[in-house]
Structure 1
Amino acid sequence: MLVPRVTNPFPGIPLIESPLFPALQGTMGLTPEEEKVAADLHERGYAVIDFPDPEIGARIDRVKANLGPRFTGVDLTDPQSNKTGGDRRVQDAWKFDEDVREIAANQPMLDLLSKLYGRRAFPFQTLNFPVGTQQEAHTDAVHFSSLPERFMCGVWLAMEDIGPDAGPLFYLPGSHRWPLLTNSMIGRRGYGSTLASAQQPFEEGWRALREAYGATEEPFIARKGQALIWTANLLHGGCYQRDQTLTRWSQVTHYYFDDCIYYTPAFSDEAVGRLDLRNLVAIQDGLPRPNTFLGEVIQQPKQEAKKKLSARSIIRRFRLSA
């Protein structure tokens, strides 16, 4: 007897975040290994894999050699020096480092993410770190979001073995299912505002959710070449670095998915259609990825029109082009 394919009535929800995931899982064309990744993302909001590149060890070594001198204020070669006092990251090194670009644009990773989300994935940003961030718990969804929601994810690659004293990454399993915090939820206006930290206005809300759900942090004690995939709303951060002489090399790649509006929620007011839109280029091919809604391109509004917007002008603000 043939089993009928399940029709997905919610194409605007990533497959691995859908409430229908158990019914849809068999239609996603996943291998047994990929099914485990999908189930972990659905239940926990993250999944651990071995990075799918046979050359990853050599790539990592070249990236560290190339980027190491760019971190000023710190001697990464001295095993006794404090590694936490200088520069902590290089953003978008894919623009000049071929190995960073190849890691971000890894085709097996793109294929996997596309299966998991139900839309074609593309990388748009890289961050390279020689030490841990020691950041408070936060979600990427206040920095990078999409309409429809949640079509964004991150992949964190361990570029060395990372122990508990090196300030490992941590995450709160299951927090991806909590409410997505927006400016309207916390009672502030975001559009046109300035912030020293896009995360700071939302920290009280995240702390309240952690207390309400009784969530606890789990560290990612990683070995070189392991990668962590996490969903847009998973709370994560960096543990306190107990040994300041240690490095904690890593690369983060952020991915969006096709046919979405891409914007920054910390500087947006969604309720009245005021979005801080992003102008993106896909790392794998260098081509623009325009903001689209159901296949139609959304034009960036003219600067002089921004102050005249109201709830009734949402359609005019995002004029559709054929």
Structure 2
Amino acid sequence: MKDSMGLTAEEERIANDLHENGFAILDFPDPDIETRIDRIKASLSPRYGVEFDRVDGIKNSGERRIQDAWAFDEDVRRIAANQTIIDLLSKLYGRRAFPFQTLNFPVGTEQPAHSDSVHFSSLPERFMCGVWLAMENVELDSGPLFYFPGSHRWPIMTNGLVGRRGYDASVPSAQDPYGPAWDALRTSLGVHPKPFIARKGQALIWCANRNCFCGCRP
């Protein structure tokens, strides 16, 4: 594969990890990433509805994410449109990659295990991927991202597959109707979650349909 696709040794490692596990970890390719992250945190912190100074350490109330900050923050835009990442994904997927959304989180969102394919996908299927960047060092007790290795190969959940009627139906979360099906798959396959213990500036590329959840601080 390395010879036929013209991959470097590092690109081949990433390609193999994505194929086998559904995710790959790498250092984000930006020499200014440290200072860029610091500017983003200073810029976005006042926009969150989170009490960062609470003495009890509980920071899981209020608005905990900002969607599409790249529309007004130049540093977020430079991360989302990083040319090295776009070129890498274009090479690995065989068609031109492009960014379409950003989400910034100050703390773990405590979401149950889920797949983002419920919210956005592609035609053909599985040509969507995400890039998650750690903007601080993450420890096991600080709300890390958890993922289920190999879940990118599971069936993509649809209304038809889970027997859900979409018309005139209302649920608190778009993920709710699919939870039991994902739980059944994980149980039957004996797959257990693994945490992404990241350091500041590390990134995780994840394939479409992989199951993961954003952790919480115990």
* TM-score where L is the length of structure 2: 0.95
- CA deviation vs aligned residue, 1:101-122 (integer Å, no higher than 9, x gap): 1100000000011111111011
Equivalent position of 1:118 in the other structure: 94
Contact 1:46 1:228 in 2 (8 A): yes
Question: Equivalents in 2 of 1:102, 1:195: separation in Å?
Answer: 36
Matches within 5 A, 1:1-150: 26-72=3-49, 74-77=50-53, 81-150=57-126
Aligned to 2:175: 199
Q: CA, structure 1 residues 70+186, in 2 after alignment: closer, same or farther (shift >3 Å)?
A: same
The reply to whether residue 208 of structure 1 matches residue 169 of structure 2 is no
Write the deviation string for residues 152-185 of structure 1: whole angstroms up to 9, x where unpaired: 0010000000001111000000111111111111
Q: Is the 8 A contact 2:64 2:106 kept in 1?
A: yes
SS in 1 for 2:174: coil
Alpha-carbon distance in structure 1 between the residues aligned to 2:169 and 2:56: 43
Percent identity of paired positions between Structure 1 and Structure 2: 63
Which stretches in structure 2 are left out of the alignment for 5+ residues?
A: none
Unaligned runs of 5+ in 1: 1-23, 243-322
Aligned residues of 1:75 and 1:81 also touching (Cα < 8 A): no
Aligned pairs for 1:231-250 within 5 A: 231-242=207-218
**Residue 175 of structure 1 pairs with residue 155 of structure 2:** no
Counterpart Cα distance in 2 of 1:118 and 1:78: 47
RMSD of the TM alignment (CA)?
A: 1.5
Aligned to 1:190, the other structure's residue is in SS state coil
- Secondary structure at the residue paired with 2:90? helix
Looking at structure 2, the residues matched to 79 and 33 of structure 1 have their Cα atoms a distance apart, in angstroms, of 43
Q: Indicate conservation of the 8 Å contact 2:114/2:211, yes or no.
A: yes
Taking CA–CA contacts closer than 8 Å with sequence separation of 6 or more, which of the two structures ends up with the larger relative contact order?
Answer: 2
In 1, Cα distance between equivalents of 2:73 and 2:39: 9
Cα-to-partner distance string for 1:46-88 (whole Å, 9 max, x where unaligned):
000000000110110000000000112x332566642222221
Give me the TM-score of the superposition, normalised by structure 1: 0.65
Q: Secondary structure at the match of 1:230?
A: strand
Partners of 1:152 and 1:132 in 2: how far apart?
Answer: 23
What's 1:284 paired with? none
After superposition, give the CA deviation of every residue in 1:177-224 in whole Å (9 maximum; x if it has no partner).
Answer: 111111111112336754431111100000000011100000000000
The number of residue pairs the alignment matches comes to 218
